[in-house]
Structure 1
Amino acid sequence: MAETFPVAVFLGFTSILQFAHGSSVPFLFYTNPIVLEFVAGCCVGTYYARGKQISLSTALVVLFSVIAFRTLYAPTLTVANRPIVVGLPALAIVVVALALETKIRWSRFLSMLGDASYSIYLTHVLTLPFGLKLIQMADRQHGLPGDIVYLAVVLASIFVGLACHRLLERPLSRAAGRWLTRRSNQWTADPRTVA
């Protein structure tokens, strides 16, 4: 917890700074709600990566507290209150999902989707419009129901993300891990030889 405290302080400070008005690029970047939400997620990820867990009861208290706070103080979304309307509830949902992770037996397919989630996230911005364009070219009369089109492009995004995970992300991650291990071993053996 001590290692993440400075990050949590920084997150709180920059969240408050959001209500000030600045125009410099660093100010706008560090007070951007999406950046703040990302850093909050990194804090939760770091907490869990160190083998710590939040109990389901605590996670549920956090979730319902966030929902109550959001309902009372930010019933509608604006740029200024995005962290309250979107960020905190998303963070609370992630905390609840992590607390449930050990209590639910996940299917192999859902585990595979979880493993590939980053690849799906990175590729969906390309796959969705491309898939939609292909469907529009094939269905010039626009006879396909919107639900079918939606399902098709989502499934295409999942397929492309899974393929990228298997063919790119996993091999590259393994290669990077081997390279980092070698560098670490070299550093341990003789710190002067590593440039």
Structure 2
Amino acid sequence: MQSSIRQGRRVILSLQYLRALAAVGVVLFHQFQNVSPIFILGKYGVGLFFIISGIIMVSLTEGRAIKPLNFFIDRLTRVAPMYWIATFITFILGCVGIYSPSIYSHGIGHFILSCLFIPSLNEHGNMMPTLFIGWTLNYEMFFYFVFGALLLIQGRYRLIVLAMIFLSLALCGVIFPQAPNLVHFYTSPYLLEFLAGCCLGAIFGLDLMKLRAWPTVALIAAVIIAMAGLGFVFPLLWTGAATVLLVATFMWAERRGYVPSFPLALMLGNASYSIYLFQQIAFDATQTALRLLRYRPGLHTIPTRCVAVLLAILTGIAVYRFIETPLTKTIRRALDVSRGASNSSSKTAATARI
């Protein structure tokens, strides 16, 4: 019987803490990037998310027989429902004039393409989905599509083939810089951050103890050097190499038993997806409230920006607790029942044939 990707999951504390760092970093970047250069570092939380995604996918699938269809369904049920909810809310609020017209698209066609994770230009000529931060989800879904398809081949070859595919795509982006927008999107060096994460996942494994100390250190160094070397062609990977070092350091520290449990950081890590998705909704809710209170400076002052950041984090935690968690459990429970019924039918049919 083909296993589900969800079987045997364990919590890697270091990755949850890094998820929290990535989500909060992006939120701070969106509010404070024009206040101080230090907050520009927050935008690299996106690459951190990509690397973590690569780690988890390799760690959970290595050495296990998983059908690509089961993988796709698992990823879709994890990512899509909350994204669709956030996108729908964004669409409705945009229609009533709450969102900035410079980034928002009122087109129903663009809204549908956004929900299908298909990159497209909005009416302002920006390659952004209805929920503008959803551009990262388009990369995530593409990564899942390619990675899931590679489950058809033997595990020892998956990482090699994935590297060939993503390196080829990234190089095409350099060779053909004037390619159509959709081609340009899928030839971004962001793909190589997923690849770097997959390498770390193959090095550490799900229990963080896959290899002895020195082979682990040597392989981590090789990944970082490779990323830094590729940085001469893809400048984005200079920061990508630094992010790989950060992630590897945290994972190594947990392997050595140096990462204690911090409930607050763990909660933020668990809620990181909802924090990321609903931050702009929280920002605009804050802006609307200030406007109703006739506070003319709006989110242009430090105190109001701090309020917006706090509201974004609290909103994400609340959404995670009261919507994301029960909704995900309900969907997966229904899928498990469906798979159980399907497996029972298959066994009955096989018995009848025998």
**Which TM-score applies when normalising by structure 1?**
0.70
Bigger shift: residues 14-23 or 45-54: 45-54
Q: Is the 8 A contact 1:7 1:43 kept in 2?
A: no
**Runs of 5+ unmatched residues, structure 1:** 75-79
In structure 1, what is the equivalent of residue 239 of structure 2?
86
> Could you tell me whether the CA contact under 8 Å between 1:44 and 1:95 is conserved in 2?
no
Q: Secondary structure at the match of 1:103?
A: coil
Counterpart Cα distance in 2 of 1:118 and 1:81 = 27
Alpha-carbon displacement from aligned partner over 1:7-52 (angstroms, at most 9, x marks no partner) = 2322222222221115245532321234543x33762686489515
Looking at structure 1, the residues matched to 298 and 180 of structure 2 have their Cα atoms a distance apart, in angstroms, of 49
Give the Cα separation in 1 of the matches to 2:200 and 2:290. Answer: 38
- Is residue 113 of structure 1 aligned with residue 268 of structure 2? yes
CA contact (8 A) 1:30 1:36 kept: no
C-alpha distance in 1 between matches for 2:203 and 2:290: 41
Q: Percent identity?
A: 20
Out of 15-24 and 47-56, give the one that drifted further: 47-56
**Aligned 8 A contact 2:189 2:237 in 1:** no
The within-5 A match list for 1:75-154 is 81-101=234-254, 103-135=258-290, 138=293, 140=295, 142=297, 146-154=301-309
Aligned match of 2:183: 27
**CA distance in structure 1 between the partners assigned to 2:204 and 2:326 by the alignment:** 22
Give the distance between the partners of 1:47 and 1:145, measured in 2 at CA. Answer: 45
Q: What is residue 69 of structure 1 aligned with on the other side?
A: 228
Q: Which has the higher contact order (CA 8 A, sep 6+)?
A: 2
| Aligned-partner Cα distance in 1 for 2:330–2:200 | 23
RMSD: 4.1
Answer yes or no: is the 8 Å Cα contact 1:8–1:43 preserved in 2: no
Q: TM-score scaled to structure 2, two decimals?
A: 0.42
Deviation at 1:112, TM superposition (A): 0.6
Aligned residues: 186
Whether the 8 Å CA contact 2:299–2:305 is kept in 1: the answer is: no
**C-alpha separation in 1, matches of 2:288 and 2:241:** 35
Aligned AA for 2:183? F
- Cα distance change on mapping 1:96 and 1:183 into 2, 3 Å: farther
Write the distance in 1 (CA, Å) between the matches of 2:343 and 2:267: 35
Counterpart contact for 2:287–2:298, Cα < 8 Å: no
Following superposition, the deviation at residue 153 of structure 1 comes to 1.1
**Any unmatched runs of 5+ in structure 2?**
1-154, 349-354
Q: 2:189 aligned with 1:189, yes or no?
A: no
**Which residue identity does 2:173 align to in structure 1?**
Q
**Pairwise CA distance, 1:108:** 1.1
Deviation beyond 6 Å, 4+ runs, structure 1: 54-57
